[in-house]
Structure 1
Amino acid sequence: MTSKTNRRRFIGQSAALTAGVGYFAGTSVAQEESTSALNSLSAACIGVGGKGGSDTSHIANQGVNIAALCDVDRDTLAKKGREFADAEQFDDFREMLDKMGDKVDIVTCSTPDHTHAAACVKAMNMGKHIYCQKPMTWSIREARLMRETAEKTGVITQMGNQGSSEDGLREAVEVIQSGAIGDVSEIHIFSNRPVWPQGGGRPAGEDPVPDSLNWDAWIGPAPMRPFVKGAYHSFNWRGWVDFGTGALGDMACHTTNMPVKALHLWDPVAVTAVKNPGIVEGEQYPGSSSLMFEFPEREGADGKTLPPCKFYWYDGGNLPPENIISQLPASFQKRVQAQRDGGRKQSGAIIVGSK
């Protein structure tokens, strides 16, 4: 891939080169192997290090045959290959899908955010069921493209947001929707992210690309840039605009999911950067931010009108104001104070109701 290949062309090429999915998160299935519907299915797994490594192992534990593994880092690929010795190995998902397309039913995608749509749209257009790690895509347009492609092809899909499949979140939604805490006027979500570098510019210089790394495939649909050791691959990509979606994209799908579902917070009428130094040189998300989303009256789950409310997001060490923190249990206030004293950053979700 050359530096002239733009994002739209890469995704277009990926698309044109052309169940039991609910258990991909690794939930235990109490079935004998001989009776599991998953035993007859095969999967190709894209991105098999870190979370991708556990995603691959989880579906294998449910009886899915792992037919192919793909990772741009051949060291990572070789390590996972020792677990699945019969799986064919690739360092470019396009090559893998072209070769293995008629041999697999399921494709998992656990890559950096910027390649989710490119990989999944191609796979869906080949009729493959998809398990894609969160956040679903790098951009809103790509999320719409993914949804449209899933509807067009009729495949089964799931995003890797495991907490949404657990009882705790669902019970909390029911408690709020029952009216137990009254009308909600404010939501405050604070995150311990980022835990990677943010707030700087692009590093100077260039390092040799390791022999084990397919840098072109890692860059994928993003504009080409020099390889710099430790700057992007294999973990710090989340802070870069071209590859990740920052603290909000990484964690909001977990920590805001409960109040969003409970209170139908889909369409804000205004978003304000309360405290945000902005994207640095068009390259990297800010080191910290505080955002406010304003929601109007809207219809709730039971058809009743929900009152307007404000939704606050804090990252990079920012916290809700003291009048909100002071309402927390004493044990959690102690943890917040420890953060203020220089300790580990905390995460939390506070829903303020009239009761």
Structure 2
Amino acid sequence: MQKRCQPQGRETAGRRRLPFSLPWVCMRPAMSKPFSRRKLLKAAALTAVAARPVGVPHVLANASPNAKVQVAVIGAANQGGISVNEVARLGERFVAFADVDERQFAKTAKILAEYPEIKFDSIPQFFDYRQMFDKLHKQIDVVFVCTPDHHHATASMIAMRLGKGVYCEKPLAHSIHECRVMAQAAKKYNVTTQLGNQGHSREGIRRLCEYLWAGAIGNVTEVHAWAPTGRGGTGGRLPTRPVPKGLHWDEWIGPAQYRDYHDELHPALWRSWWEFGDGSLGDWGCHNLDGAFWALDLAQPVSAEAIEQVGGSQERFPLVNVVRWDFPARGNLPPLKLYWYDGYRAAKTANPKKELGESLELSQNRPPIVLELEKKYNRKFGDGGTIYIGDKGIMFSGNYCDSPRIVPEEKHRQFPVPERKLPRLKGTHQADFLRAFKEGTKACSDFEYGARLTEMVLVGCLAERAGLHQKITWDAAAMKVTSHPELNALVQRQYRKGWELEA
């Protein structure tokens, strides 16, 4: 284990209470003196923008596409474990792992035990990814960022400024400003990027786009999406608890505002808290809203509103949400209303599967139109998916936009199979990213696309934060909430000393 850096500690100077029950935000100005990492990043950035095929670093610029990619993983277990397994299966080379919890490395080792050629103990392990970049940046080609949401931008920006390819889990970022900065950086530093919305690589979303573009249900004016997720809670911050052995708490907090360790944060329930996650919508929105965003050319809404909420507080997301976005006409496409449903109505905690057991399905917050269609056509639409309502019919796609079908089924069989207009991908989402990196091409859900998709999702999170029936208006060009200016403190975050976003 690498030597621990000195903790930044609690920062209280310069804080003020914002209106509208927003969380504490540090208004302290950025550091006046640069630290060594900035010098490293500045020098590396000059190298990173040198002419070369998009995404291909100097170490591979003249290599065969069959050369092994040198991979670092930040967040080495849980969701990161899926990417670890995929990278190992594809035969690439791990050069570093970073995780704030030393206990998580045992999970990574267990995954890699299936690949005897990989000697996990010989691969450097860090609990601070900044130290990893300081010491090993010359050995790294690409980075998988599989951390809680509040770390996504900071870790990805360091990597991109060093000229590294980045695969970042969804949502792309924790604020809209971060989305835009990350998309700009990917273009500026000419690196391969991929948002971890795995369904974007699959056949289902391509078939969905092609059916909708072929006019299978006419002009779409409403979309209703739901997902098997229930985060959030009630009440305030929980009592301070001792930091578990092996967890480096200051590094877990990272760029967020400091708080003492308490329950229901690490390793699984951090999405429920405004300071660290983006709720159920941030968890699944980039999956089940992806098809509507792509096929219907949604861009950004003009307004959004939370039309139902259960629970929630100034610390936590609501347990149950219904959100509506309003989109203007787009070329020949009519105005559209997009709806999102999440949570479980009987749940009192952010762990509904454990709490509700066999009654989970009956408690799920699903669109009323889904219940009507299930009853009318005697079929089940499952625990997640999307309904598309057009002036000539209805379509459905499942979780990750898989298995799109016109409803009812006989109409799907009657409609001519549309021409394939989108290229098909072989293999997994991670494989697409690594292929794009080797070939110097774009991955299918790069940061330019992923930033716009995530921004739409985060506008919905702002509506949740505004509260029930508080319709917010969004000026995308100015990157501002014009109806509730106090929410703009969440559009562009402030960062703790030593974790500033290096744009």
Measure how far apart 1:81 and its partner are: 4.2
Choose from 74, 96, 103 the match for 1:46: 74
Distance in 1 between residues matched to 2:66 and 2:251, nearest whole Å: 31
Corresponding position: 1:138 with 2:174: yes
Residue 227 (structure 1) aligns with: 261
Letter matched to residue 325 of structure 1: L
Distance in 2 between residues matched to 1:81 and 1:99, nearest whole Å: 22
Gapped regions of structure 1 (runs ≥ 5): 22-34, 300-304, 336-345
Measure how far apart 1:2 and its partner are: 2.0
Residue 96 (structure 1) aligns with: 132
Choose from 375, 378, 381 the match for 1:330: 378
Corresponding position: 1:271 with 2:308: no
Residue 119 (structure 1) aligns with: 155
Greater shift after overlay, 58-67 or 42-51? Answer: 58-67
Residue 217 (structure 1) aligns with: 251
What fraction of aligned residue pairs are identical, expressed as a percent? 38
Does the 8 A contact of 1:15 with 1:123 survive in 2?
no
Residue 179 (structure 1) aligns with: 215
Residue 145 (structure 2) aligns with: 109
Does the 8 A contact of 2:226 with 2:385 survive in 1?
yes
> Is the partner of 1:306 in helix, strand or coil?
coil
Distance in 2 between residues matched to 1:162 and 1:113, nearest whole Å: 17
For residues 248-284 of structure 1, the C-alpha deviation after alignment (integer angstroms, 9 at most, x for no partner) is 111011001111111111122221211135750x211
Letter matched to residue 278 of structure 2: T
Distance in 2 between residues matched to 1:36 and 1:349, nearest whole Å: 41
Does the 8 A contact of 2:237 with 2:315 survive in 1?
no
Distance in 1 between residues matched to 2:221 and 2:35, nearest whole Å: 46
Residue 343 (structure 1) aligns with: none
For residues 80-105 of structure 1, the C-alpha deviation after alignment (integer angstroms, 9 at most, x for no partner) is 24632321011110011100111111
Residue 27 (structure 1) aligns with: none
Residues 1:264 and 1:215: Cα distance change in structure 2 (over 3 Å): same
Letter matched to residue 117 of structure 1: A
Letter matched to residue 53 of structure 1: G
Does the 8 A contact of 1:292 with 1:312 survive in 2?
yes
Mapping of 1:25-64 within 5 angstroms? 37-64=65-92
For residues 115-152 of structure 1, the C-alpha deviation after alignment (integer angstroms, 9 at most, x for no partner) is 01111101111111111111111111111111111111
Gapped regions of structure 2 (runs ≥ 5): 1-7, 13-25, 42-52, 56-62, 113-119, 344-363, 393-503
Choose from 233, 242, 245 the match for 1:208: 242
Residues 1:318 and 1:79: Cα distance change in structure 2 (over 3 Å): closer
Residue 352 (structure 1) aligns with: 389
Does the 8 A contact of 1:81 with 1:87 survive in 2?
no
Does the 8 A contact of 2:144 with 2:167 survive in 1?
yes
For residues 220-260 of structure 1, the C-alpha deviation after alignment (integer angstroms, 9 at most, x for no partner) is 1111111124x100000011111110011110110011111
Does the 8 A contact of 1:38 with 1:64 survive in 2?
no
Greater shift after overlay, 265-274 or 92-101? Answer: 265-274
Choose from 271, 274, 289 the match for 1:241: 274
> Is the partner of 1:291 in helix, strand or coil?
strand
Distance in 1 between residues matched to 2:278 and 2:271, nearest whole Å: 6
For the aligned residue pairs, the C-alpha RMSD in angstroms reads 2.6
Q: Deviation above 6 Å: which 4+ runs of structure 1? A: 12-15
Does the 8 A contact of 1:15 with 1:125 survive in 2?
no
Choose from 280, 283, 289 the match for 2:315: 283
Does the 8 A contact of 2:144 with 2:168 survive in 1?
yes
Residues 1:105 and 1:189: Cα distance change in structure 2 (over 3 Å): same
Measure how far apart 1:14 and its partner are: 10
Does the 8 A contact of 2:233 with 2:319 survive in 1?
yes
Corresponding position: 1:128 with 2:159: no
- Count of residue correspondences: 321
Choose from 308, 323, 327 the match for 2:335: 308
Residues 1:9 and 1:107: Cα distance change in structure 2 (over 3 Å): farther
Residues 1:315 and 1:216: Cα distance change in structure 2 (over 3 Å): same
For residues 312-354 of structure 1, the C-alpha deviation after alignment (integer angstroms, 9 at most, x for no partner) is 11111332235x5323442217x6xxxxxxxxxx212100112
Does the 8 A contact of 2:143 with 2:165 survive in 1?
yes
Does the 8 A contact of 2:322 with 2:339 survive in 1?
yes
